[in-house]
Amino acid sequence: MQRIRFVVYCSLLALVGADTASAQVATLDDEDLALAYGDKSFVTIATGSRVSLNRAPSVATVITAEDIAAIGASDLDEVLEIVPGLHVSRSTVFNGPVYVFRGIHRDTNPQVLMLENGIPVTTVFAGGRGIAWGGYPVENIARIEIIRGPGSAIYGADAYAGVINIITRTAEDIEGTEVGTRVGSFRTRDAWVQHGGSLGPVDVAAYLRVGETDGHRRTVRADAQTGWDAILGTGASHAPGPIDAGRDAVDARLDLAYDKWRLRAGYKQRDNVGSGIGLSLALDPTGESYSERITTDLTYHDGAFAKDWDVTLQASYLHYEEFSDLTLFPPGASFDPDGVEVFADGMIGNPDKWEEHERVSGSAFYSGLEHHTIRLGVGAEKRAVYRIRESKNFNPDFSPIGSGSVGDVIDVSDTAPFLRPRSRNVRYLYAQDEWRLAKDWTLTAGLRHDQYSDFGGTTNPRLALVWETAYNLTTKLLYGTAFRAPSFTELYNINNPVVIGNPELKPEKMRTVELALAWQPVASTQLGINVFRYEMRDMIRLVDIRYENTGRQTGTGLELEAAWSAAKDLRLSGNYAYQRSIDRATRSDAGFAPHHQVYLRGDWRFAPGWLANSQINWVGERRREVGDTRSSLSGYHTVDLTLRTQAGRHAWDLAFSVRNLFDADAREPSPFDTPFIAVPGDIPLPGRSFFIQASYRL
């Protein structure tokens, strides 16, 4: 706590000093600052239209391509860690990222809706982005817009704890051809090319990137098999051993725009995705997964469709397939107290699945009523796991088939699969009114109804009162509800003696109240604060071996943000977030998420064409979940440095980054389980790493 007070105190001193120093600071060069930060003055995710960030009816964050370049990020996870109230944790499932908004944690991350150009990229099987996610590169990102808090009134299911919208680059954003390469620690190698131009009347943007990495190899001292070895007298565990976080990647995008039409297509392939600490929390050095994601969408937008009408029509398609080759427990493992039944080659499971998502939607803005802007929307979706395949060498009671060898692996797709093919249909409609009820007051009211074929309907309202309190001060009072649809795993999982689905599940629900202020006391300083309270109910949890709607969680917190242009060539910024989430059934901390986070950043243009960036990310201790007797997981802080050039066209731009400069032993909490804690040493994060990047613009 003393360290927290010291950091916050120093930050406040710097902000107070901004008032006295501003008179001596030279007039800011907006073009120079835009090179480092980009245009962060507007946001579209809050209402579906372009509005001022300070006056948007939500608590939103904007991250630009210039931001991403300045901090030396190579993956989306490194970018999102700068958002106040958002912590990037790690899953036990293939070491995937868990985006923890305001203390709301779930291993497969179904409580966060991720969009790409406004279209969901989440899967229906587990509700997240897929276990073989394998990262998201940043070279083709134009900007990222994030809502902290509920957004279901606009975006529907899973816009629960937060919404992340990734906006990719168009021909206008790229303007020419760029080639680039990056090499660094963990045998990381990436190369990309992107082009923006025109073919006659058609604007064309194209992007291709290939890469591979072994991932960090920090040691896991003990795993689930260590626990079974101690109980049953076996010696099968691979621990101590390294985590497996490698992957090979291919990403491609095509963006075509003609008049009022835009066609986008995307391809995302991940191969040899390492199993992290193992799908069953037992190290699996040979396990790997493959995923392929194909997306396409066609949009028609006419801002003058008719008098006072702005109309958008859209159709999209997502195809996702995921194959896994896993050794759930290593050779020599046994779950027989007598030690007779032993898996000769380990417990092998190969679950494969295919999904497709089809969506059509229409929305319109009507501005024909004085002081009102009305948005109407309607849509339909079909989401399906249309094919599954499973092979394994163990029975439903975890006993081995035959000797538990590779040769004993059999196909159980038609006899005892983990899931049967399933589909759900969704229809929705919504309305939103932005009412300028007085000179300095705007009330945004929205209501959305979603009707699901498998669990029924849900209706969610949203209210936002925005008061332009003074020329440099904006006050917002926000209320909203949200829901998370149960995943197919939670509804329909079968043939598993440990986890069984429940077709009677209803969606999780949440309501949130927020108060936010944005203040610019002087031209060089921007401040923001918001406080929130949320309540979750009908939470989906395992009761014995079956998923049930049970439990309730509440949370309160605050988020502070500040940015100070200390001089023409120096800008300082940072944020502090506090949250406390309580499991109401046990009246104890919900666990997993840090109560305190501090982020500090400095950008210094120390010479023409050169920019230096430093950032400090401090994550406080994390409490354990109920039943876990371990002491709280210690916090950590990391320091990153980036030095880069800005040479412009027809020249090479170079960037050098070091992440986790002081090689902090950073870890994320592992889950509690019985009859022992499977990974008592928690999930290790990467140590110190170095990266060099070169890019050339034609």
595 phi/psi in degrees, rounded to 5: -75, -30
Residue 673: the pLDDT is 82
What are residue 597's phi and psi, to 5 degrees? -140, 140
Mean pLDDT, rounded, of the chain: 92
**9: CB partners within 8 A, 6+ apart:** none
User: Is 70 exceeded by the pLDDT of residue 6?
Assistant: no
For residue range 360-387, what is the model confidence (pLDDT) as tens digits?
A: 999 999 999 999 999 999 999 999 999 9
Q: How far is residue 86's CA from residue 80's CA, in Å, rounded to a whole number?
A: 7
DSSP state of 670: P
Residue 5 is predicted with a pLDDT of 42
Looking at residue 28, its pLDDT comes to 34
Is-contact 114 166, C-beta < 8 A? yes
- Residue of 565, 528, 551, 628 whose CA lies nearest to 148: 528
User: According to the per-residue pLDDT averaged within each range, which of 157-161, 329-333, 646-650 is highest?
Assistant: 329-333
Q: Flag whether pLDDT at 13 surpasses 50.
A: no
Stretch (H or E) spanning 556: strand 552-567
Please say if the pLDDT value at position 16 is more than 60: no
d(C-alpha 196, C-alpha 207), whole Å: 9
pLDDT band at 332 (very low <50, low <70, confident <90, very high): very high
Cβ partners under 8 Å of residue 242, min gap 6? 217, 218, 219, 220, 285
pLDDT at position 589 is 94
Distance CA 40, CA 145 (A): 10
Instruction: Please spell the DSSP secondary structure of 248-261, one letter per residue.
Output: EEEEEEEEEEETTE
Q: What is the mean pLDDT of residues 339-348?
A: 92
For tokens 């008719």, the residue is: 306
pLDDT tens figures, 427-476: 999 999 999 999 999 999 999 999 999 999 999 999 999 999 999 999 99
CB 526 within 8 A of CB 539: no
pLDDT of residue 26: 31
Instruction: Give yes or no for residue 523 having a pLDDT over 60.
Output: yes
Tell me if residue 69 falls in helix, strand or coil: helix
C-alpha span between 587 and 324 (Å, rounded): 39
Asked if 53 contacts 42 with a C-beta cutoff of 8 angstroms, the reply is: yes
pLDDT of the residue at 514: 97
Asked if residue 20 has pLDDT above 60, the reply is no
pLDDT above 70 coverage of the chain, percent: 95
pLDDT of 204 higher than 90: yes
Which tokens in the block code for residue 267? 């391809």
- Which class for 606: exposed (0-12), middle (13-18), buried (19 or more C-beta within 10 A)? exposed
For position 397, what pLDDT does the model report?
Answer: 86
What is the average per-residue pLDDT within 180-209? 97
Rounded Cα distance, 578 and 478, in Å: 19
CA distance linking residue 64 with residue 83, whole number of Å: 12
Phi (first) and psi of residue 37, to 5 degrees: -120, -25
Residue 388's closest CA among 423, 359, 357, 358?
A: 423
Write down the pLDDT at residue 126. 92
* pLDDT of 11 above 70: no
What single string gives the DSSP state of each residue in 588-633? EE--SSBSEEEEEEEEEEEETTEEEEEEEEEE--BPPPTT--SPPB
Q: Which secondary-structure segment (H or E) carries 10?
A: helix 2-21
How many CB atoms within 10 Å of residue 199?
Answer: 10
How sure is the predictor about 54, in pLDDT bands with cuts at 50, 70 and 90?
confident
Domains: count for the chain: 1
Quote the CA–CA distance of 433 and 317 in Å, as a whole number: 29
The pair phi, psi for residue 593, each rounded to 5°, is -100, 145
Give the per-residue pLDDT at 9: 37
- Would you give the end-to-end CA distance of the chain in angstroms? 51
Is the pLDDT assigned to residue 309 strictly greater than 90?
yes
- Domain of residue 690: give its range: 2-697
Confidence of residue 627 (pLDDT cuts 50, 70, 90): confident
- Residue 506's closest CA among 489, 536, 535, 485? 485
pLDDT of residue 36: 53
Average pLDDT over residues 224-238: 94
- The average pLDDT across 507-512 equals 96
Report which of 171, 384, 143 is spatially closest to residue 264, judged by C-alpha positions.
Answer: 171
| CA–CA gap between residue 410 and residue 124 (Å, rounded) | 26
State how beta strands 162-168 and 112-116 pair: parallel
Among residues 599, 595, 660, 672, the alpha carbon closest in space to that of 634 is found at 595
Beta strands in 94-140 (DSSP E): 97-101, 112-116, 119-120
CATH classification at residue 360 = 2.40.170.20
Instruction: Extract the tokens encoding 384.
Output: 């399906």
Q: How far apart are CA 657 and CA 490, in angstroms?
A: 42
CA distance 171 to 194: 10
Task: Please check the confidence at residue 338 and state whether its pLDDT lies above 50.
Answer: yes
State residue 151's pLDDT score.
82
Hey, how many other C-beta atoms are within 10 angstroms of the C-beta on 338? 7
